[in-house]
C-alpha cells in the first residue's frame, strides 16, 4: 500500500514538473506575451504596433472582447485576467470598491 501511494505521488510530481516546464508564456520568437483589455477603438492598432516596434522582447495583444467589467473581475479572481487594464476599467473597479 505504501509503495502504491509513493508511486502515485512520484508520478504526479514528475508530471507536474513536466507541465510547469512545458507551459510557458512566451511565443515562438522568445517574446513575452501581454494581454491588454481595452475598448475596440481603431486607434489601438497603431498604438499596439508602435509599442511592439519599440519593445522587441514583448508582444502586446489587445483583447477588446473582455472589456466588460464583470468579465475582468471574474477572470482576475480566477487568476487568468488580463495583464493590462484600460484606465476606465480601473476607475470603475475602484468606484465599485472591488480592489
pLDDT of residue 3: 87
Mean of the pLDDT values across residues 75-99?
Answer: 70
Tell me the pTM.
0.56
Q: For 62, phi and psi rounded to 5 degrees?
A: -90, 145
Query: Over 80: is that where the pLDDT of 34 sits?
Result: yes
Residue 26, pLDDT > 70, answer no
Instruction: Report the pLDDT value the prediction gives residue 7, as an integer from 0 to 100.
Output: 93
pLDDT for 72 equals 77
Distance CA 68, CA 38 (A): 9
CA 75 to CA 91: how far, in whole Å?
Answer: 17
Residue 98 has pLDDT above 60, yes or no: no
Amino acid at each position: 500500500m505504501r509503495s502504491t501511494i509513493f508511486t502515485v505521488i512520484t508520478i504526479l510530481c514528475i508530471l507536474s514538473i513536466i507541465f510547469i516546464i512545458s507551459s510557458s508564456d512566451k511565443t515562438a520568437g522568445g517574446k513575452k506575451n501581454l494581454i491588454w483589455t481595452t475598448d475596440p477603438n481603431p486607434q489601438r492598432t497603431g498604438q499596439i504596433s508602435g509599442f511592439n516596434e519599440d519593445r522587441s522582447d514583448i508582444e502586446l495583444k489587445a483583447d477588446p472582447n473582455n472589456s466588460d467589467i464583470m468579465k475582468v473581475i471574474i477572470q482576475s479572481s480566477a487568476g487568468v485576467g488580463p495583464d493590462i487594464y484600460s484606465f476606465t476599467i480601473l476607475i470603475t473597479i475602484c468606484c465599485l470598491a472591488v480592489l
